[in-house]
Amino acid sequence: MKRRDFVKGLLVASGAGLMSLPKAGFAEEAPAAGASPNMENAPFLPWGYVELDPEEAMKRGYLGYFVGECSAGAFWAITSLLREKKGYPYTLLPLPTFEEMVAARKAHHHLPIPMKYGNGGIEGYGTICGALNGAACAIEWAVGPKLGKKIIRRLFRWYEVTAFPTPLTNEYAVNHKFPVKGKWDKPLPSIHCNSVLCHVVVSKWCSIAGFASGSKQRSERCGRITAAVARQAVILLNAALKGELEKVFPFKVSNETASCRTCHLKGKKFEQGNFARGFIACESCHVEDIKAHVKAAPLPTAFGTNLGTWMGAAAIGTVAGIGAHLVATNIGRKGGNDEENKG
């Protein structure tokens, strides 16, 4: 039995426990060694990219969410399009077809799509948003780590500054322009959460919007976000293909993060603050720490106007508590927006 036929068979099998069945079914085709014969000759990554339609990716992100949740949904949206538009080696991936996905959704079944583990911030743990995780994997798979890093950091930053669900995905859901029905077809409040973390964005959104985290509205929200993330990933990939990444989405962290990163970035100078790393929006968590730092340097222009101003003043030596001599050596060093920095 061909794997495809098996999946189709599954979709009509009434009440079949899909999660346990495919394992046996897929194993039927697998050779004794366990690996697919084709996969044995799979080329090294990256597998390449051809221009895709962002709207198509958005629709597939939505469909993918309802059949495999956020992470697998975003991964499938991009890689299934690449399989259709580019073909080999994406033909080696164990991905359901568009039609199988639509049928699965209609039967309210989930399918075992790669990257399923990323759901709910990795198996519900609440860390990185699954849509970002799945999209990031597809991006690096397609273009490799060097260009992938530039695209992925931009995707993450875009996510931090965007209010979700986006008006476009709300509109698609309300007007039934997605390939399948979701869980709720009314507009949902677009809320800016300034974080890439599942726990933060879900908790913030639910408490402000007034929906429980186990509600269909919250789930629908994540479906629309998966759609928006798949779309944005393709917009960035297309831009990268044309060498227009910086034009389409200039990489710019928040002012706060840029100023924190004057000292707190991946580096070797421990005493200067190089005991932290990351481009993640510092101000989304370190509110009290920011106040404390500012208190240590009580300047009239302190926090609230422009932290950069305070940092500038700190650098000329008025700062207490941080150590002006340490700070001074950092003057002129590129902090926040130096995307070549390791993080």
Among the listed residues 7, 155, 193, 281, the single contact to ligand HEC using CB under 6 A = 281
> Does 280 interact with ligand HEC (rule: CB under 6 A)?
yes
Single out the residue of 256, 267, 302, 339 in contact with ligand HEC (rule: CB under 6 A). Answer: 256
When asked if residue 264 is in the footprint of ligand HEC (CB under 6 A), the reply is yes
Q: Sort residue 339 into left (φ over 0), alpha (ψ -120 to 50) or beta.
A: alpha
Q: Is 257 in the site for ligand HEC (CB under 6 A)?
A: yes
**164 vs 310, which CB is nearer to ligand HEC?**
310
| Span interacting with ligand HEC, options 48-56, 226-234, 238-246, 281-289, rule CB under 6 A | 281-289
Beta bridge partners of 192: 163
DSSP-H helix ranges across the chain: 3-12, 21-29, 37-40, 54-85, 98-106, 130-143, 145-161, 167-174, 198-209, 216-241, 245-248, 255-260, 287-296, 307-313, 324-328
The candidate with the shortest Cα–Cα distance to 97, out of 114, 117, 76, is: 76
Q: In terms of Cα–Cα distance, which of 23, 28, 22, 27 is closest to 9?
A: 22
Q: Is residue 194 close enough to count as binding ligand HEC by CB under 6 A?
A: no
Binding mask 300-339 for ligand HEC (x = CB under 6 A): -------x---x--x------xx---xx------------
What is the Cα–Cα distance from 68 to 112, expressed in whole angstroms? 7
List binders of ligand HEC among 24-83 (CB under 6 A): none
What is the SS3 assignment for 286-310?
CHHHHHHHHHHCCCCCCCCCCHHHH
**Shortest distance, CB of residue 83 to ligand HEC, whole angstroms?**
35
- Nearest approach in angstroms of CB 135 to ligand HEC is 20
| Interface with ligand HEC, residue 11, by CB under 6 A | no
User: Residue from 60, 260, 267, 302 that binds ligand HEC (CB under 6 A)?
Assistant: 260
Tokens read off for 257? 């993060």
| Min dist. Cβ of residue 277 to ligand HEC (A) | 7
Q: Which is nearer to ligand HEC, 267 or 273 (CB)?
A: 273
166 binds ligand HEC (CB under 6 A): no
Query: Residue 65 burial by CB count (10 A; 0-12/13-18/19+): exposed, middle or buried?
Result: buried
Q: How far is the CB of 209 from ligand HEC (least distance, A)?
A: 21
Contact flag: residue 259 with ligand HEC (CB under 6 A): yes
Structure tokens at 284: 């989304």
Q: How many other C-beta atoms are found inside a 10 Å radius of the C-beta of residue 165? A: 25
The one segment of 4-12, 42-50, 164-172, 283-291 that binds ligand HEC by CB under 6 A:
283-291
- Amino acid (one-letter) located at 20: S
Contacting residues toward ligand HEC, per CB under 6 A: 197, 256-257, 259-260, 262-264, 272-273, 275-276, 278, 280-282, 284-286, 289-290, 292-293, 307, 311, 314, 321-322, 326-327
